Chain A
Amino acid sequence: MSNLPIQCPACKDQLKVRHLVCDVCQTQVEGRYELPLLMRLDTQEQIFLIDFIKCSGSLKDMATLMKLSYPTVRNRLDEIIDKIKQFEKTVLKESREKNK
């Protein structure tokens, strides 16, 4: 299965979910859904977070797994945290604008 596209190829804006389908009974749902926060991260960042959870949140174990130094792994995590905070701000801003 190909990777889920999260960015518009034309204007680079965040894509929304419009269409969902059940593989078993073929039921289709149409609507306008936001991508969950973690799905907005790129594939590498999602893999990083999955590995981080598998390592019970231990940066030391993560560093061993990735064969990288502790500060390099911590810096990578800090970048993802910043990105998530940025997404949260955007979501909050969008919901405020909707409510106006």
Chain B
Amino acid sequence: MNASTELKKYNPVIAWLFNPFTYIAGRESLIIGLIGIVATSLIGSLGDIHFDGVLDMHIGAKTPVWFFIAEGFINWFSFAVLLFIAGRIFSKSAFRIVDVFGTQAFCRLPTLISAAALLLPANKRVLDELTKMVQNPNQLPALPLADTAIFAAVMIIVLVMLVWMVTLMYRAYAVSCNLKGTKAIISFIVCLVIAEVISKTGIFVMIKFMPQN
């Protein structure tokens, strides 16, 4: 018997879904996570889906592909840097920077599913109708039932993916910095709020200085 036999105690499916960082961290998670961020940005660029903030997701303006990729990197980097600083302040463990950045990149994988779900044409049709309704409140939207059902399903998927991503982000922070309890929860929430502001500001600055064609 060696220490690996302890693994039998855990349900691997649940562990992989909610705390994959028991098994994966460091360089592997960083590579997978960065590929995921680029893939999400490329899918997003097909439907003008912008991840314009650590937790935000909107269908917006047509921009070059690099802009979508930059948004993804700003969101990941701003949050990871703050968590790394918080970890240095609150953790007694000697943790590695690659674990914090790698696991946080990995956490963004659910946005890949959100971006793919938002690409469905029915979704765009419903959003167009809703925009028309906002612009002209007297006009009733012509929404086919199937499109509305798909739109509702997509919104549920996006919401579930968002909750899953935040759960993963917290677990990644707790494992990579060896923090638990109130200290971990409060520092995580504070970092999330600050990162949301920083990422939004970063993206805003990028828009300001974007070359106009």
Please name all residues of chain A whose beta carbon is closer than 8 Å to the beta carbon of B186 when the two chains form the complex: none
In the complex, per-residue mask of A25-43: 1 if CB is within 8 Å of any chain B CB, else 0: 0000000000000000000
For the residues of A in contact with B, the DSSP-based class is helix
A66 and B3 in contact (CB under 8 A), knowing A72-B25, A75-B175?
Answer: yes
Q: Are B1 and A47 in contact (CB under 8 A)?
A: yes
Chain B residues whose C-beta falls within 8 Å of the C-beta of A78 in the assembled complex: 92-93, 178
> Which listed residue (B4, B6, B25) contacts A69, Cβ 8 A?
B25
B96 at the interface (CB under 8 A from A): yes
Give the residue name and chain of the A residue nearest to B172 (CB).
A71
Q: Are B178 and A71 in contact (CB under 8 A)?
A: yes
Bound: A87/B96 CA distance, A: 28
Interface residues on A, range: 10 to 19
User: Would B93 and A69 count as touching, CB distance under 8 A?
Assistant: no
Q: Is the CB of B3 within 8 A of A72?
A: no
Q: Is there contact, CB below 8 Å, between B175 and A71?
A: yes
Report the count of interface residues on B (CB-CB < 8 A).
22
Q: Are B25 and A71 in contact (CB under 8 A)?
A: yes
User: Do residues B3 and A47 form an inter-chain contact, with CB atoms below 8 A?
Assistant: yes
Contact B93 A47 (CB under 8 A): no
> When chains A and B are docked, how far (Å) is the Cα of A33 from the Cα of B176?
40
Are the C-beta atoms of A70 and B178 separated by less than 8 Å?
no
Return chain B residues, CB-CB under 8 Å to A62. 3
B21–A72 contact, CB under 8 A?
yes
A72 touches B2 (CB 8 A): no
CB-based contact A71/B4 at 8 Å:
no
Residue of A nearest to B26 (CB): A70
Chain A: residues with CB nearer than 8 A to chain B? 44, 47-48, 51, 62, 65-72, 74-75, 78
